[in-house]
């Protein structure tokens, strides 16, 4: 499920809808998030899909933005229900999330698969706690939740990081991770256009520049 390549050369409407949801949630733009959530549910996101995207916001933009976004989703679902719209609830994770040492091992394995190699470096030696948090919380607790596939999680991550000025290095890295999980350069170009059309020019510019840098840095195939 997590490594499945998209069958089409373009992002589906459902996939496209993830991008502005993630960007507005990370930016704290609740008014525009409301509209993006409506559009995403109409495009085929389940309620649990949307929850997973907004839960993941905590890892990139903090708990306050994640909590506020989840509160808005709850309102949107309630209002739609009052209008007679029955949104699909969607799937929960298919297995329990590991704990303790098993969680760290799962997170380290997920991180290596996503990045394409073990992640090491002077920063993690300088502050080993952040390495622990990445492996256990982000790549463990979050990426072990298999009810949202990894390509969808990466589309969400790129949307979030594109909305955050100052996160260009991480954004470039996740452009590479997106390609590692099967999202094509053409689809990432489409992602930048979705940001331009549905979010704003600055967010789209950061995404385009990060994609260009990542493509320039990747070995020719």
Average pLDDT over residues 183-190: 98
**pLDDT category of residue 219 using cuts at 50, 70 and 90:** confident
49 and 153 share a domain?
yes
The per-residue pLDDT for range 96-151, each reduced to its tens digit, is 999 999 999 999 999 999 999 999 999 999 999 999 999 999 999 999 999 999 99
The model carries a pTM of: 0.94
- Alpha-carbon Rg for the chain, nearest whole angstrom, is 17
Does residue 78 sit in the same domain as residue 151?
yes
Q: Please check whether residues 66 and 17 belong to one and the same domain.
A: yes
CATH assignment at residue 193: 1.20.1290.10
Instruction: Answer yes or no: do 167 and 113 share one domain.
Output: no
What pLDDT was estimated at residue 221? 58
Q: Is 120 part of any domain?
A: yes
Q: Is residue 2 part of a domain?
A: no
Same-domain status, 74 and 159: yes
Domain identity same for 153 and 72: yes
d(Cα 172, Cα 167) in Å, to the nearest integer? 9
Q: Is residue 31 part of a domain?
A: yes
Structural domain includes residue 122: yes
Convert the pLDDT of each residue in 46-105 to its tens digit.
999 999 999 999 999 999 999 999 999 999 999 999 999 999 999 999 999 999 999 999
In a domain, 17, yes or no: yes
- Residue 1 confidence (pLDDT): 42
Q: What is the rounded average pLDDT for all residues in the chain?
A: 95
On whether both 159 and 207 belong to a single domain, the answer is: yes
Domain that holds residue 211: 13-86+144-215
Considering the domain architecture, whether residues 110 and 135 belong to the same structural domain is answered as yes
* Total of domains in the chain: 2
- Domain identity same for 46 and 72: yes
Are 20 and 159 spatial neighbours (Cβ–Cβ below 8 Å)?
Answer: yes
Count the residues in the chain.
Answer: 221
Say whether both 148 and 57 belong to one domain: yes
109 and 46 in a single domain? The answer is no
Confidence band (pLDDT; 50, 70, 90) for 8?
low
Is residue 221, in this structure, part of any structural domain at all? no
3 located within any domain: no
Same domain assignment for residues 52 and 108 = no
Share of the chain above pLDDT 70, in %: 95
Residue 93 lies in a domain: no
């Amino acid at each position: 499920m997590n490594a499945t390549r998209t069958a089409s050369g373009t992002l589906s409407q459902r996939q496209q809808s993830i991008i502005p949801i993630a960007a507005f949630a990370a930016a704290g733009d609740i008014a525009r998030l409301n509209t993006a959530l409506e559009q995403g549910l109409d495009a085929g996101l389940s309620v649990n899909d949307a929850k997973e995207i907004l839960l993941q916001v905590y890892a990139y933009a903090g708990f306050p933005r994640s909590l506020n976004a989840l509160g808005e989703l709850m309102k949107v679902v309630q209002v739609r229900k009052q209008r007679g719209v029955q949104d699909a609830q969607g799937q929960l994770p298919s297995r329990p999330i590991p704990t303790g040492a098993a969680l760290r091992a799962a997170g380290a394995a997920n991180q290596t698969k996503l990045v394409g190699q073990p992640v090491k470096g002077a920063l993690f030696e300088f502050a080993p706690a952040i390495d622990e948090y990445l492996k256990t919380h982000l790549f463990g607790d979050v990426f072990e939740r298999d009810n949202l596939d990894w390509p969808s999680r990466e589309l969400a991550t790129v949307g979030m990081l594109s909305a955050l000025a100052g996160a260009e290095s991480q954004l470039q890295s996740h452009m590479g991770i997106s390609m590692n999980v099967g999202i094509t350069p053409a689809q990432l170009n489409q992602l930048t256009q979705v940001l331009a059309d549905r979010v704003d020019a600055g967010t789209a510019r950061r995404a385009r520049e990060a994609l260009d840098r990542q493509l320039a840095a990747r070995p020719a195939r």
